[in-house]
Amino acid sequence: MIVKCAWCGKDMGSKQPYEDKSITHGMCEECLAKELKKGGTNGNPPQKIVPIAASKLELMRAAAKKQLSPEDYQEFLGLMVDLEMFGLTPFINTQLGKLMAKIQWELEIEESPEWAEALQACDRAFLGNELKLLCYDYNVSPHGHKKELCRKLYNAKCPEVVRVMEPYLEKINEKASISPHT
């Protein structure tokens, strides 16, 4: 295995199993000395942990497994282990960023019932090809399932889509305008 410094990216040689050419990380002596000068305690380097929600990590893993080459996916898995061990160091951040740029993923955001109803209405109102043609008209990417296209076209203020979805979304505005003291 090839060993690199997780802080600066410096090549630190290799370790067993030597036939495995995947990358693992450690901390070079120079970076350890710098980190200890910054305030490491008891001879240990300070923790550089940036918390990342487990659900987000799972989504990242699933997207990486589907979309990366086997070699890139193995590198990704190694970086995820390093992330758990060392936290989000500049080197790990850079390497993960390079891999994440190769995949397309979004975090699911829980939608309001009104928004879900509006998307469902749009989905029922249009055929997939109709939505794709509207996407071209409004300079929106035509890739994705019908509800995703409805969302994109609504955000692009496509009148046909807005007209179908707006009655459902007005319920949100009505709820927001009701004062609890009236």
CA neighbor of 34 nearest in space, from 61, 63, 70, 10: 10
105 in a structural domain = no
Kindly report the average pLDDT of the chain as a whole number.
77
Mean local confidence (pLDDT), 90-102: 82
Mean local confidence (pLDDT), 11-33: 77
At residue 46, the pLDDT reads 46
Decide: pTM greater than 0.75. no
Domain count, the chain: 2
- Domain of 164 in residue numbering reads as 113-177
Mean local confidence (pLDDT), 142-169: 91
In this model, does residue 41 exceed pLDDT 90?
Answer: no
Query: Quick one: 67 and 134 in the same domain?
Result: no
95 in a structural domain = yes
- Edge-first strand order for the sheet with 11-14 is 11-14, 2-5, 23-26
